[in-house]
Amino acid sequence: MRHACRQDYVAFYEDELKFRKAMRYPPAVALINVVVKARTRQGAVEDAGTIAEAMRLPGLDAWKVLGPAPAPLGRLKGEHRAQLFIKGTHRTAMRKALLTVLDGRPELKRRTIVDVDPMSVL
């Protein structure tokens, strides 16, 4: 707020970038938002959990999987939604690993939305 009051864009940018690096938020790391749709809330969370577990590879610290949890818009157009995030510094490897998981589960792939570097997580 103090930077806004002073119209100090440069100071705001520098402070925000420090905060984002410390918290491991974009643009310091890549972020993939994965939203899974299902007929029931439990089904959406379970399916998202399947993806999350497949992405949590033993001994791999190239990325971190956060979730799953009910999505902020938990129900949309009659479908329940759950989401998870994949956060790390290897965007291409994260994306390829996720696509490999989804390719192995075509029925789940059809109900999954993948957003690399999302502008919004709603």
Task: Tell me what the mean pLDDT of segment 11-28 comes to.
Answer: 92
Residue 81: pLDDT over 90: yes
Q: Which residue has the tokens 């971190």?
A: 64
Specify the pLDDT at position 17.
94
Instruction: Work out the mean pLDDT of the chain and round it to a whole number.
Output: 93
For residues 70 and 59, what is the distance between their CA atoms, to the nearest angstrom?
27
3-class DSSP assignment, residue 51: helix
Least confident of 31-35, 50-54, 59-63, 111-115: 59-63
pLDDT for the residue 61: 81
Distance CA 11, CA 93 (A): 34
Domains within the chain, CATH numbers bracketed: 24-116 (3.30.70.600)
The structure tokens 């918290």 sit at 23
- What number is the average pLDDT over the span 42-46? 97
Rounded average pLDDT over 70-95: 94
pLDDT at 122: 76
Report residue 118: phi and psi, to 5°: -65, 145
Total-model pTM? 0.86
Q: What is the DSSP string of 5-31?
A: HHT-HHHHHHHHHHHHHHHT-TTSSEE
Instruction: Give the per-residue pLDDT at 48.
Output: 98
